[in-house]
Amino acid sequence: MLVCLIAHDKTGALEVRLENRSAHVEYLKSTDHVHLAGPLIDAEGGMCGSMIVLDVPDMAAAEAWAANDPYAKAGLFSAVTLTEWKKVIG
């Protein structure tokens, strides 16, 4: 199943994002679950969150993957949603 993870950074947490970015990107690359991923961008062009589409067997696997993301462990996010997603185009 495909699951879309949308995470919004806490206000003023850019330093936390930058400090943990290498570990986060390595985590993305280290699992077979990431279908696509990239940062959300604010009006000024700065990173302010994440959007990741996971290919997982079930929602429990998506929740476990999200909990182990170095960004989540660092407390970067103010909110995270996981929603089943259906690919139609692309």
- What's the CA gap between 45 and 68, in Å, rounded? 27
- What's the CA gap between 48 and 50, in Å, rounded? 7
Spell out the alpha helix ranges (H) of 1-90: 14-30, 59-68, 70-73
Q: What is the pLDDT tens value at each position of the chain, 90 positions in all?
A: 999 999 999 999 999 999 999 999 999 999 999 999 999 999 999 999 999 999 999 999 999 999 999 999 999 999 999 999 999 998
pLDDT of residue 64: 98
Residue 60 DSSP class: H
Encoded amino acid at 76, one letter: L
Architecture of domain 2-84: 2-Layer Sandwich (3.30)
- Domain parsing of the chain, residue ranges: 2-84
Assign 40 to helix, strand or coil: strand
pLDDT of residue 90: 84
Assign 54 to helix, strand or coil: strand
